[in-house]
Chains A and B, each alone.
Chain A
């Protein structure tokens, strides 16, 4: 018989606390001194995954989703995707030029920017290439490798509309090209409707100035839209009557379909979820009994309305509990109490957003988009539990 108490789920890598407990937990020596800038406990080792690359300034690192709690990603673990490295920018020298179809071309310093009224909002960021190997038929072994190009932060900044209105948009203004001050001057075109809606010119993340890898000293945050268009190290906004058709909105970040056509300007990241515990690389370490299933859901379409859990590979579904806060275009934490009977199981999460959009199965997605779309894969992810309690991707 198993005790009825609810047991916490532990990952394989977690220390076996029970065996070492009671052995000198209260020290008799004075502890470490105060410090000017805090560090995490040396016992905590969770890190982003970094791939070796011949061009180390270009590539991506993945957030360890399986180790995170709540909805906020620590800035130090926010995923990275750079195209020419992280520039070292002196904020005192940094400027943003607004020009093109405006009444008054303007240059803003960082001080100028902070003179506008600011707002703080919690939004997810997701690289549109996130989970592309799932669609390509190469299921990834952990939440980090499967969907780790997803992070969520509190961003503080000035509405982009404030800068555009200060410069005065001409009636023929239809697009805004945003350009970064990285070595490749990465640039993307944004429709004016979105530019005037909810985009932030953000200078802070999770209560502190942006990290260099996240665009210090200033970046765009384009809520709900693919990561690439959230231009980092922002230094130029060019108002136009048409898109510029930059490299990163034509040759990249376009979705190749089975008929050979490619979808262009596929901005929104559709509703998606993933179970982060128990998940691939982990272990149901206490035999049959009660476990918590938890994970994250998010949608570029707005708020998450519902998350359902299946333990039988999608045959039957039960509602998970959504943890407050449930915010538009932010990650939402879901939780589900599961009584594992000790038999093989296939765990899935499926989310629905406030527009009624339901996260698709991988089969349904591949049937329409094929295996080579490369971007915008939001399919349901399956974790397989074996009888010995091990959890894997296959």
Chain B
């Protein structure tokens, strides 16, 4: 393996994405080539520095208010789901916050070490937890109707609590009156 070959495989080597035989070849070459060894060490050091920097920034971020705030926006957005009103208002703010949080988590999960399956569930769990909380909040009085028959009836949802209302358009006076 030449220095040129190593230069082409450098990123894959540092990210441990190369197949094992190639990883070994690059490592063997780096053991006898001070130039390539230095380049690899430099790149590894750079990655570690970036990871440390991002980790420091991530520690200062307070994301505890993100999900409650997202959940708070859901009821107002639910009744009118027109694309015009929802997309331009909410995507820039919450989309940016969530994308930043997701990027930081993803980066931290993969930085400095090979992607391992143990990192993936952490991220999924936090997303699912938030979604579950929002779903639970939303569906407290929300009934799922599997079948409905009757004459002149309408199903409504009370916007604030999501309470399901089945309304029969009928005179109040019953047969006994």
* Bound together: no
